[in-house]
Amino acid sequence: MSARAATATGARPGWDRVTELTPPVVLPVLEALELLERGEITVQGRITTASNATLYCAIELSGMAAACVYKPVSGERPLWDFPDGTLAEREVATYLVAAATGWEPVPPTVLREGPLGTGMVQLWIAHDESFDIVGAINSGQLPALQRMALLDAVVNNSDRKISHLLPVTGAGRSRPAESELHVYGVDHGVSFATENKLRTVLWQWAGDPIPEEGIDVLRRLAEQLQAGLGEQLSRLLTGAEVRAARRRVQRLLSKGTFPMPPTDWPAIPYPPY
Ligand SMILES: Nc1ncnc2c1ncn2[C@@H]1O[C@H](COP(=O)(O)OP(=O)(O)OP(=O)(O)O)[C@@H](O)[C@H]1O
Ligand SMILES: [Mg+2]
């Protein structure tokens, strides 16, 4: 299957409109970013299980079409522990850090104007719903999940649920990978708090040494957070939040181990799915 081949998803429970949806496509990252930044967005349905306005959309540019998710800031539900109207920016900030890892753990994501105002727009991933992601989490054997755990520790993700892990097998992958399975993480609106709020289903490696490839990525992130990446993040987050991200990377490097679950904060999202 070519990198552009469409993979249809069909109807899904929890959607209020499931007819004639634009199917997801697999695109190289740069093309995906251009499409997401400049394409014309048409809302096709709303994911009714989502707590915010999470919209399934078609996006088109010069004959290229894909499915995407669009979360307008105007549809964000206020939260007690994050400032109003900042979730879309946190999603994009997480994408930028994710992209800098080189692991491609988050689908291409941009901040832009859309039919309901400014919001985040992310490429829709046709994930493999038959894959046993719970078994993979419990086994603690999947490098893609261990990498996700490290990303979450860096961005201080407080909502890594099972349903925010999208396994993609075979032709659905957008990059050649060392294994037949890749996992994308989504829904990073509640990340980058200054205080420790890591809440996740990925505690399998708590206290374990971070593998060499993870240390290399952390070193690179530490440098980039002092330079261009730090500047990009400071357009999306507060100065204190960017400094806290730098401190988390430094702490991970100096300890060399995955974080332990917090004792003063729920360690696992509720519900975990
Ligand atoms: N880029 C994507 N590709 C494929 N599926 C996605 C994508 N983004 C979100 N989804 C699907 O839509 C569901 C809802 O999206 P998301 O979790 O981002 O919304 P939310 O409003 O934050 O919901 P909640 O607060 O209930 O977690 C996800 O659990 C996932 O199944
Ligand atoms: Mg969610």
Residue 172's pLDDT is: 52
What distances in angstroms separate CA 255 from CA 150, 157, 158, one per listed residue?
A: 13, 19, 21
Residues with pLDDT less than 50, the chain: 1-18, 175-178
21 with 69: CB under 8 angstroms? no
> Which of 47, 128, 159 for mutating ligand 1's site (highest number of atoms within 8 Å of CB)?
47
pLDDT score recorded for residue 149: 98
Residue 174: per-residue pLDDT:
53
DSSP-derived secondary structure for 18-75: -SSPPPPB---HHHHHHHHHHSEEEEEEEBTTSSS--EEEEEEETTEEEEEEEEEGGG
- Look at residues 56, 61, 64, 66 and name the one whose alpha carbon lies nearest to residue 115: 56
Segment 59-100, tens digit of pLDDT: 999 999 999 999 999 999 999 999 999 999 999 999 999 999
Predicted local confidence at residue 51, as pLDDT: 82
**Centre of ligand 1 from the C-alpha of residue 18, in Å:** 16
pLDDT of residue 2: 30
**Cα 209 from chain centroid (whole Å):** 24
* pLDDT at position 123: 97
Q: Which atom of ligand 1 is nearest to the CA of 52?
A: 21
